[in-house]
Structure 1
Amino acid sequence: MMAKCSLQSTDPHLCQSLDGLSHLAETRRFKAWFLDQFGVLHDGKKPYPGAISTLEKLATTGAKMVIISNSSRRASTTMEKMKSLGFDTSLFAGAITSGELTHQYLQRLGIASSKGLGLQVVENVEEAEFILAHGSEALGLPSGEARPTSLEDLEKILELCAAKKIPMIVANPDYVTVEARALRVMPGKFHSPVHRNTVKGKYLAL
């Protein structure tokens, strides 16, 4: 289905109906492309039909392509994921993700090193000094593993955290994400303000 424009203008370039990206690529008017990944380039499991070939054609125009994503993964991990799905990551100038920005934020707070977070994961609310929410299906363990946890049980944990006024950092603000043909709830459903002087080193990992 082609998009329709309701704006009234005499400028033919202000609003146009397009069949796809190929027309825009052929014009060579755009020097940079900012591309989302989930629901745009792939469905979390495999690339969408024509996505890889379209990017290859865009690259021939000399345009720079950057991935922008609410993914809680860091930029380097995002590139690894794209490569595993069959995308040529050399075509991208880089990636900007919520996970990367979260890591940089923690560094500015002085509780993350340049190589990693350097934080201590705890299993109970009583020990936690803040919550780091980057998923909605498991609870992180001190061992580095994750324990599958229902959304209902996570909500109960968050209710306890809210009662103790424990701050939360949300590494992925999406309300839902695309996974194959289904929509999955994401941490954007959980929201709590973060105050710089309350975020320390021990945290619950969602």
Structure 2
Amino acid sequence: MTRIIASLSDISQPYDALLCDLWGCLHNGVKAYPDAVAALQQFRAKGGKVLLLTNAPRPATFVITSFDRLGVPRDAWDGVVSSGDAAQDAMFAGAVGHKVWHLGPDKDDGFFTNIPTEWADAPPIERVPLEQADGIVCTGPFDEMTETPDDYRARFLMAKTLGLPMLCANPDLVVDMGDRRIYCAGALAALYEEMGGQVLYFGKPHPPIYDLARRRLAAMGGVDEGRVLAIGDGINTDIAGAQGEGFDSVFVTAGIAADHFGPGADHPDPTRLNDWLAAHHQNPTYAISLLR
């Protein structure tokens, strides 16, 4: 049964590295959570490694540039691996062709323009209109503040008719930006699959992002996989991914699923929590209301 804990320090001693989610755990898209920052700083001060593992559909360099705005200090982490990193590798390898329709906001342009060194000599990726594309690269809605997946049914019908595969650069369905819930690329990809389209996923809970995380940990000096702890608020992404990879995990209950565990974000009801986890066929090692 999942053990509810009060703080990360209660159980951190056996672990050498954390794979920590960002949105809903370390920040809410507007500002960092001070207690979460302090928890990561304390873990690092004792010699642990912190790898921030996010389903953001942008390369890690662009994720890092947002930290000053959000208030995430440099001494709270050792490295960042994003869904965008793993998805970029697949795109430049030609997973959905080299003429692609980009479904996503302008802020994700770096996914195409920031070419990793190892792909500098690869055939170029050309962004084209849907009817000219070999495939789709989805990083989110064009307007994440107003649009829903249903706004794309007509275009997805055309894409399916054309037989276009979709590369989904962020498997998350929704995130909370401050007090507003917005749709992510994963919700669009789920609709495309429901309509019969083919989708390739590269963020949590799928293996490519964890393969990349392992390579980054190895570059930091290597970590025993039995001493890695994953932290996240996404039951079908962070926790399912950790379970599939054999990592212990901490489920943050006051994140995206907070409404399921009773009133008061700081005190999840144990019965509601365990019933909900059983219904989702997940068994995180630990649960905590907020990362602290």
TM-score norm. by structure 2 comes to 0.52
* Structure 1 stretch displaced more, 63-72 or 87-96: 87-96
Which consecutive residues of structure 1, in runs of 5 or more, have no partner in the other structure?
6-14, 140-147, 196-206
Aligned partners of 1:137 and 1:149 also within 8 Å: no
Q: Secondary structure at the match of 2:47?
A: coil
Q: Secondary structure at the match of 1:126?
A: helix
Code of the residue aligned with 1:167 in structure 2: it is: P
CA-CA distance at 1:182 after TM superposition:
2.5
What is the alpha-carbon distance in structure 2 between the residues aligned to residue 162 and residue 193 of structure 1?
Answer: 8
Aligned partners of 1:134 and 1:170 also within 8 Å: yes
Code of the residue aligned with 2:15 in structure 1: it is: F
* Structure 1 stretch displaced more, 186-195 or 155-164: 186-195
Partner of 2:170: 172
Matches of residues 46-65 of structure 1 in structure 2 within 5 Å?
46-65=31-50
- Structure number having the greater helix percentage: 2
* Structure 1 stretch displaced more, 63-72 or 149-158: 149-158
Partner of 1:133: 138
Q: Does residue 38 of structure 2 align to residue 23 of structure 1?
A: no
What is the alpha-carbon distance in structure 2 between the residues aligned to residue 108 and residue 63 of structure 1?
Answer: 34
Q: Does residue 147 of structure 2 align to residue 150 of structure 1?
A: yes
TM-score norm. by structure 1 comes to 0.71
Aligned partners of 1:70 and 1:174 also within 8 Å: yes
Shift in alpha-carbon separation, 1:133–1:179, aligned structure 2, 3 A: same
Aligned partners of 1:107 and 1:114 also within 8 Å: no
Report how many residues are paired: 171
What is the alpha-carbon distance in structure 2 between the residues aligned to residue 107 and residue 89 of structure 1?
Answer: 30
Partner of 1:102: 87
Which consecutive residues of structure 2, in runs of 5 or more, have no partner in the other structure?
99-111, 201-292
CA-CA distance at 1:108 after TM superposition:
2.7
Aligned partners of 2:92 and 2:125 also within 8 Å: no
Q: CA RMSD in A?
A: 2.7
- Higher CA-based Rg: 1
Post-superposition CA distance 1:82-136 (Å, at most 9, x none): 23312123542212211100111123338585357942222x3221221110011
Q: Secondary structure at the match of 1:53?
A: helix
What is the alpha-carbon distance in structure 1 between the residues aligned to residue 131 and residue 82 of structure 2?
Answer: 31
Code of the residue aligned with 1:133 in structure 2: it is: C
What is the alpha-carbon distance in structure 2 between the residues aligned to residue 164 and residue 109 of structure 1?
Answer: 18
Shift in alpha-carbon separation, 1:95–1:104, aligned structure 2, 3 A: same
Partner of 1:121: 127
* Structure 1 stretch displaced more, 61-70 or 155-164: 155-164
Aligned partners of 1:39 and 1:178 also within 8 Å: yes
Percent identity at matched positions? 23
Code of the residue aligned with 1:20 in structure 2: it is: S
What is the alpha-carbon distance in structure 2 between the residues aligned to residue 194 and residue 20 of structure 1?
Answer: 38
